[in-house]
């Protein structure tokens, strides 16, 4: 019998009246996702982005339901800079989150800064870090993150996957590098679509009126193929959008009721 292929689930969009409501619901969502993952596999695998996202995770700080010792954290993208550099996503996440919670240091998977001069080696080494976590334990062609948390730039980019860039077509590698990011700094590594689209859950967080125009393009006109529209986790995976009213202002489709 031929295999049945399901189309990806459509995005679930949650529109929040206030940032605090978004932050609270995001924390509850993470805690539930974390619990399900730990019950099933004894660990929780998550990828984080930079931008405003780490601050949106503040609902986890001091929350006793967060089992930090079971988290394995990777970066959805990272800038090729030292870990204490102001441009480093790890530096940002450390300032906003990890310095405030009891996560074991070796559960936060950073780039190998001894390889900053050779981006190919840097991205290969990060891919190997992922392979150590996923392929040896789950024996899968691509890692299946329990959750990937993403932001979106005003041009529709996500991770370090920019409109029109050749990395949008990457089908094989888990981690890729670029030296020509249109947004500084130019040198970065990024998870690729095969990884993002194998995740069990992906959440975009997009707030503020600066996101209204591009959000309508990404969600109402996905056929335009902006990078964020290409995030379509394979069935039964699910992509969620956590947005606020200013970001939703130009959206044509109805958000789903928040009932998480
Ligand atoms: O790599 C980068 O240049 C940024 O980190 C970028 O990808 C950011 O995540 C988005 O632009 C969303 O930014 P905000 O979350 O601040 O809106």
Residue 201, φ and ψ in degrees, nearest 5: -140, 145
pTM (two decimals): 0.96
**Assigned domain for 253 exists:** no
Nearest-angstrom CA–CA distance, 251 and 215: 7
pLDDT averaged over every residue in the chain: 95
Instruction: Report whether residue 153 contacts ligand 1, using a CB cutoff of 6 Å.
Output: yes
Residue 170 within any structural domain of the chain: yes
How far does residue 210's CA lie from ligand 1's centre (Å)? Answer: 12
Number of domain units in the chain: 1
Task: Assess if residue 118 is contained within a domain.
Answer: yes
Decide whether any atom of ligand 1 lies within 6 Å of the 243 Cβ. Answer: no
Q: Give me the CATH number covering residue 41.
A: 3.40.50.1360
CA of 63 to the centre of ligand 1 (A): 26
What domain range is 69 assigned to?
12-245
- Element containing residue 112 per DSSP (H, E): none
Is the C-alpha dihedral spanning 121, 72, 168, 91 positive or negative? Answer: negative
Q: Is the CB of 183 under 6 A from ligand 1?
A: yes
The answer to the question of residue 113 being in a domain is yes
Residue 3 CA to ligand 1 centre (angstroms):
38
pLDDT in tens, 17-56: 999 999 999 999 999 999 999 999 999 999 999 999 999 9
Residue 139 within a domain: yes
- The DSSP output letter for 125 is H
The beta strand positions in the chain, using DSSP E, are: 12-16, 44-48, 71-75, 77-79, 147-150, 175-178, 188-191, 201-206, 238-244
DSSP summary character for residue 210: G
pLDDT digits (tens, 9 = 90+) for 196-232: 999 999 999 999 999 999 999 999 999 999 999 999 9
What does the angle CA 136 – CA 141 – CA 144 come to, to the nearest 5 degrees?
75
Q: Is residue 36 part of a domain?
A: yes
CA–CA dist 185, 176 (Å, integer): 16
Q: Is residue 192 one of the residues assigned to a domain?
A: yes
Over residues 149-172, mean pLDDT: 98
Tell me, yes or no, whether 94 lies in a domain: yes
**What ligand 1 atom has the least distance to the C-alpha of 160?**
1
- CA–centroid distance, 206 to ligand 1, in Å, is 10
Rounded average pLDDT over 64-77:
98
Name the nearest CA neighbour of 96 among 53, 62, 155, 147: 53
Tokens of 75: 């970066």
Q: Ligand 1 centroid vs 6 CA: distance in angstroms? A: 31
């Amino acid at each position: 019998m031929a295999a049945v292929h399901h189309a990806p689930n459509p995005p679930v969009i949650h529109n929040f009246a206030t940032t605090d409501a978004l932050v609270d619901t995001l924390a509850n969502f993470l805690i539930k996702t974390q619990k399900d993952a730990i019950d099933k596999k004894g660990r929780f695998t998550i990828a984080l982005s930079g931008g405003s996202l780490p601050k949106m995770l503040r609902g986890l700080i001091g929350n006793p339901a967060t089992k930090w010792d079971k988290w394995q954290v990777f970066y959805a993208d990272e800038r090729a800079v030292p870990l204490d550099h102001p441009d480093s996503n790890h530096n940002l996440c450390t300032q906003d989150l990890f310095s405030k919670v009891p996560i074991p240091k070796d559960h936060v998977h950073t780039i190998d800064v001894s390889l900053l001069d050779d981006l190919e080696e840097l991205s290969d080494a990060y891919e190997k870090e992922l392979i150590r976590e996923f392929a040896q334990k789950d024996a899968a062609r691509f890692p299946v993150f329990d959750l990937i948390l993403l932001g979106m730039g005003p041009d529709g980019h996500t991770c370090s996957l920019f409109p029109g860039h050749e990395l949008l077509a990457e089908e094989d590698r888990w981690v890729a590098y670029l030296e020509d990011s249109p947004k500084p700094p130019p040198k970065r590594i990024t998870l690729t679509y095969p990884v993002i689209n194998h995740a069990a859950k992906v959440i975009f967080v997009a707030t503020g009126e600066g996101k209204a125009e591009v959000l309508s393009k990404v969600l109402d006109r996905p056929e335009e193929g902006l990078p964020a529209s290409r995030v379509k986790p394979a069935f039964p995976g699910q992509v969620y959008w956590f947005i606020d009213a200013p970001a939703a202002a130009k959206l044509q489709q109805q958000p789903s009721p928040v009932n998480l």
